Amino acid sequence: MPGPLSLPALCHFLLPWAFATFHKALGDPATHPGPHYLLPPIHEVIHSRRGATATLPCVLGAPPPSYKVRWSKVEPGELRETLILITNGLQARGYGPLGGRARMRRGHRLDASLVIEGVRLEDEGRYRCELINGIEDESVALTLRLEGVVFPYQPSRGRYQFNYYEAKQACEEQDGRLATYAQLYQAWTEGLDWCNAGWLLEGSVRYPVLTARAPCGGPGRPGIRSYGPRDRKRDRYDAFCFTSMTAGHVFFVPGRLTLSEAHAACRRRGATVAKVGHLYAAWKFSGLDQCDGGWLADGSVRFPITSPRPRCGGLPDPGVRSFGFPRAQQAAFGTYCYSE
């Protein structure tokens, strides 16, 4: 049976561990596993808004003799990455629709950070900065997250009319895009409670429940209820859309207007009838509060409430209230206009 370890032998085993622990506590990048060229990001989630300029940090601790840096975007639900930009430290080349708005920051010779100008809704997601040196490649992953608002959407025909691709198009027509699961989850934590299931960008179908009740899946814990992955062409549900701050502003025009008269009223003011996403963004980011139903571009009538009161929808929480889709010839509402 082996005897106890001598003091020199014990030091031989423990000293490397002690030094590694000490350097890690100091933040020494040389102690990280792998080839040690890319520094771990201080913040893995970068927050931005639509129209802003966002910087995704990627910094080398030391440059290898020969290398390239490849930036790509991980597309949710599609199991693929979209190439954005490749650089060798001296020159860079952009690829795809995002490549035209992306450039290297070049703050110093070891800076491989990516700058995205004019951030769009579709830019939200996960990005990868990959160092390619021909021996041992390594990468860091970052998430670009937009401040925004999720809203449920269904067409005038009623609920559960969209397959996945129709839901995606419907959100884009209302100045939004299909929400991700992370966006729906955040909206649920902020108070979104909705019984109708809707498509998400990843291809799943879910709905958020704050108060469990019989019409909303029965008893159980509050949370995001899931139908799981569905057939994108055959199955039909509503949509959960996501939008962010807009460049323009929304204003209300009072009156008893038909839908066509609403379009004319906005045109006379150098504007267009607002889309559903415009109204939600104005409610979320500008605090628009108007206790009057108004036409929107899709033919629905809605109004935004930031300070709930008895004669403005009667609900206790802030939100965008809906009168549904009245007849377009019904002269009973004002209109919400959007101007940039």
pLDDT in tens, 105-164: 988 989 999 999 999 999 999 999 999 987 678 999 999 999 999 999 999 999 999 999
State the Cα–Cα distance between residues 294 and 258, nearest whole angstrom. 10
Q: How many CA atoms, within 13 angstroms, populate the side-chain half-sphere of residue 265?
A: 23
Whole-Å CA distances, 266 to 21, 173, 259, 262, 287: 65, 19, 11, 6, 21
pLDDT exceeds 50 at position 180: yes
Q: Which residue(s) pair with 205 in the sheet?
A: 199, 228
Indicate the DSSP class of residue 6. P
317 or 167, greater pLDDT: 167
Predicted local confidence at residue 96, as pLDDT: 87
State the Cα–Cα distance between residues 294 and 291, nearest whole angstrom. 10
Please give the average per-residue pLDDT across 72-84, as a whole number: 82
Q: In degrees to the nearest 10, what's the CA dihedral of 34, 35, 36, 37?
A: -140
Would you say 279 and 302 are in contact if contact means Cβ atoms under 8 Å apart?
yes
Instruction: Categorize the per-residue pLDDT at 31 as very low, low, confident or very high, splitting at 50, 70 and 90.
Output: very low
Instruction: Categorize the per-residue pLDDT at 20 as very low, low, confident or very high, splitting at 50, 70 and 90.
Output: very low
Provide the 10 A C-beta neighbour count for residue 9: 10
CATH superfamily membership of 148-243:
Mannose-Binding Protein A, subunit A (3.10.100.10)
pLDDT exceeds 90 at position 218: no
Helix (H) or strand (E) holding 27: none
* The domains spanning 38-146 and 246-339 adopt the same CATH topology: no
Q: Is the dihedral of CA 211, 213, 217, 220 positive or negative?
A: positive
> What are the domain boundaries of the chain?
38-146, 148-243, 246-339
Question: What pTM does this model have?
Answer: 0.83
**Six-digit token pair at 246?**
């807009």
Q: Using DSSP, how many helices (H) and how many strands (E) does the chain show?
A: 6, 21
Top-tier CATH class for 38-146: mainly beta
State the Cα–Cα distance between residues 339 and 267, nearest whole angstrom. 10
State the Cα–Cα distance between residues 137 and 32, nearest whole angstrom. 14
Domain range 246-339, its CATH number among 3.40.50.150, 3.40.720.10, 3.10.100.10, 3.40.47.10: 3.10.100.10
Predicted local confidence at residue 148, as pLDDT: 96
User: Residue 134: left (phi > 0), alpha (psi -120 to 50), or beta?
Assistant: left
CB neighbour class for 13 (10 Å; exposed up to 12, middle 13-18, buried from 19): exposed
Indicate the DSSP class of residue 4. P
Lowest mean pLDDT among 25-39, 209-223, 242-256: 25-39
Provide the 10 A C-beta neighbour count for residue 311: 6
> Which residues 6+ apart lie within 8 Å of 136 measured at CB?
34, 35
Closest CA to 57 of 99, 120, 111: 111
- Buried-state track 152-163, b at ≥16 Cβ within 10 A, e below 16: bbbbeeeeebbb
DSSP per position, 232-260: TTT--BEEEEEEE--SSEEEEEEEEE-HH
78 or 130, greater pLDDT: 130
Question: pLDDT > 70: what percent of the chain?
Answer: 88
